[in-house]
């Protein structure tokens, strides 16, 4: 049973009143509708679709989800989204289908499986795979994402898994929760997609209770591998001002490239600037479902190397994935 979630206005943090169809902020006058039984607190759309189109698509997907399971609905989503190229859609479908198992493996490898609190917030939750993986550790589970359409698909996934959670549509840089609301915050492969990673971590810190853990993963810009979202080589090594043009040259069938991969140094600096203490960036565990024997051996070698001091430092600089662990600083007493 998940506990009720209290909301505040993401623009002014004022108290909200609800009519059942929307939340209204008396101090600033903003109104936030409830769509698909999900409160929509966005102050800005996601980069790929405007807010009204997103709401319409979410309602359509949720209706389709009455007769479809999660896997069927996921494939249906891409069938009605022709702007996503077919080859990449297949990759993204496989990734989404494996999210629960991947999150479980990541939790075990990073020590997340021992992470317990009364309230968990997953920033950038997508369809809720991590929430399902960690469901047994938290009495209250909240997932936030800027894409209402994916939250609608996530409702079907949670239904199929028998997991109860509160899904909220909001910008990661402007969370609609009071200060110190959560005992644990997770943020898996989200920071590279937000408009402002530092603002996102500041908000994560604001809504964290004293001593709450932040657990965050990110793809490493300096890794000598193909860009993990689009599977294009060389993107991360280009100056950021050239990356969108390079992607457009290589793939004319994609949305404008707006992803901002990070480095270990940038990730640590962002966490420290947000107010986190004891921030540590290390090579992240890698989980690959259905891997070949050779790949399993390679991952076993990687796992041993990431636990050794010298090789861990090298992997932190050039390895494929990064893990940020930090604690929220207790509030200053006046």
Give tens-digit pLDDT for 287-333. 887 778 888 899 899 999 999 989 999 999 999 999 999 999 865 55
| pTM (two decimals) | 0.94
Q: Which of 202-211 are b and which e, b meaning 16 or more Cβ less than 10 Å from the residue's Cβ? A: bbbbbbbbee
Q: Is the distance from CB of 302 to CB of 320 less than 8 angstroms? A: no
- The predicted-structure confidence for 29-55, as pLDDT tens digits, reads as follows 999 999 999 999 999 999 999 999 999
The average confidence (pLDDT) of the chain is: 93
Whole domain around residue 162: which residue ranges? 16-220+262-328
pLDDT band at 1 (very low <50, low <70, confident <90, very high): very low
pLDDT at residue 334 greater than cutoff 50: no
- Residue 146 domain-assigned? yes
- Residue 250 domain-assigned? no
- Provide the pLDDT for residue 317: 96
- The predicted-structure confidence for 126-139, as pLDDT tens digits, reads as follows 999 999 999 988 87
Q: Count up the domains in the chain and report the number.
A: 1
- Residue 3 domain-assigned? no
- Residue 102 domain-assigned? yes
Task: Check which CATH number belongs to the domain holding 276 and give it.
Answer: 3.40.50.150
DSSP assignments along 95-143, one per residue? HHHTHHHHHHHHHHHHTGGG--EEEEEEET-TTSHHHHHTGGGEEEEEE
Mean pLDDT over residues 109-137, rounded? 88
- Residue 152 domain-assigned? yes
- The separation between the first and the last C-alpha atoms of the chain, rounded to the nearest angstrom, is 37
- Residue 39 domain-assigned? yes
- Residue 170 domain-assigned? yes
Mean pLDDT over residues 79-107, rounded? 94
- Residue 115 domain-assigned? yes
Burial of 17 (0-12, 13-18, 19+ CB in 10 A): exposed
Number of helices and strands in the chain (H, E): 11, 11
Q: Which two tokens stand for residue 106?
A: 């990541």
């Amino acid at each position: 049973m998940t506990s009720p979630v209290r909301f505040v206005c993401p623009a002014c943090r004022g108290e909200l009143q609800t009519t059942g169809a929307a939340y209204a902020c008396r101090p600033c006058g903003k109104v936030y509708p409830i769509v698909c039984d999900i409160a929509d607190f966005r102050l800005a759309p996601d980069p790929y679709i405007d807010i009204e189109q997103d709401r319409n698509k979410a309602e359509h997907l949720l209706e389709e989800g009455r007769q479809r399971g999660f896997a069927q609905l996921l494939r249906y989503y891409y069938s009605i989204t022709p702007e996503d190229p077919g080859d990449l859609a297949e990759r993204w479908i496989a990734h989404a289908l494996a999210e629960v198992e991947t999150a479980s493996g990541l939790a075990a490898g990073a020590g997340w499986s021992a992470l317990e609190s009364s309230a968990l917030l997953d920033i950038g939750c997508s369809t809720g795979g991590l929430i399902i993986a960690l469901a047994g550790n938290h009495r209250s589970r909240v997932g936030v994402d800027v894409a209402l359409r994916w939250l609608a698909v996530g409702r079907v996934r949670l239904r199929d898994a028998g997991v109860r959670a509160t899904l909220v549509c909001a910008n990661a840089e402007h969370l609609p929760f009071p200060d110190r609301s959560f005992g644990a915050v997770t943020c898996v492969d989200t920071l590279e997609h937000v408009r402002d990673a530092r603002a996102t971590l500041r908000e994560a810190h604001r809504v964290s209770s004293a001593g709450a853990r932040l657990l965050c993963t990110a793809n490493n810009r300096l890794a000598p591998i193909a860009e993990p979202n689009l599977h294009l080589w060389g993107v991360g090594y280009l100056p950021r001002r050239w990356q969108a043009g390079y992607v457009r040259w290589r793939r004319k069938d994609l949305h404008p490239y707006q992803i901002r991969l990070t480095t270990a140094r940038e990730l640590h600096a962002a966490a420290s600037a947000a107010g986190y203490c004891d921030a540590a960036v290390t090579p992240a565990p890698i989980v690959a479902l259905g891997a070949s024997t050779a790949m399993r051996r390679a991952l076993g070698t990687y796992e041993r190397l990431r636990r050794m001091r010298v090789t861990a430092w090298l992997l932190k600089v050039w390895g494929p994935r990064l893990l940020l662990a930090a604690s929220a600083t207790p509030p200053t007493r006046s």
